[in-house]
Structure 1
């Protein structure tokens, strides 16, 4: 392989990595109907909220409308998934309760 081929591959990798950076979000929704919380992760925060509020999600459809009360941003899907699982645990629910009460 010639040196220019290596350079092009490296340049291509750097551009792809820089421009295709996907961020992941863990978000907490609260139902305005009964106050319950819904916790999930996504790579498109605005689209997901729109989907929840238009009844396209089976789990949240019966409790419309939803408001986003909290979110966090992560660089990897793995980090976001770990945080989502934490929020769904007993200690994570308590953390969120304390956080949202003091907001």
Structure 2
């Protein structure tokens, strides 16, 4: 059985929203905060973790990430608000 993957959303200090996937949300968020995460969060430091959701595998999480990245900033904020700090598999 494979590990679950998570889609997570971070609000950056400039108000932008970063969306990513990981198997360890806390560890990945810590990496973003330390400046060793994604290139985007090195130049747009994280302010807070908005939420995350569970996916059964990497493929499912990647598809969800792509779908979220296509949303407008307002739609991303509404989606992030629906997540809270965790949500069951979608």
Find the partner of 1:53 among 8, 33, 47.
Answer: 33
**SS where residue 40 of structure 2 aligns?**
coil
Higher strand share: 2
Q: Which residue of 2 aligns with 1:66?
A: 47
Gaps of 5+ in 2: 85-90
CA distance in 1, matches of 2:77, 2:59: 24
Could you say what the CA RMSD is over the residues aligned between the two structures, in angstroms?
2.2
From the CA coordinates, give the structure whose radius of gyration is larger: 1
Return the TM-score normalized by structure 1.
0.67
Which stretches of structure 1, 4 residues or more, deviate above 3 A after TM superposition?
Answer: 99-103
Unaligned stretches of 5+ residues in structure 1: 1-16
Aligned residues: 82
TM-score, normalised via structure 2 length: 0.76
Secondary structure, counterpart of 2:64 in structure 1:
helix
Report the Cα distance in structure 2 between the residues aligned to 1:26 and 1:72, rounded to whole angstroms: 5
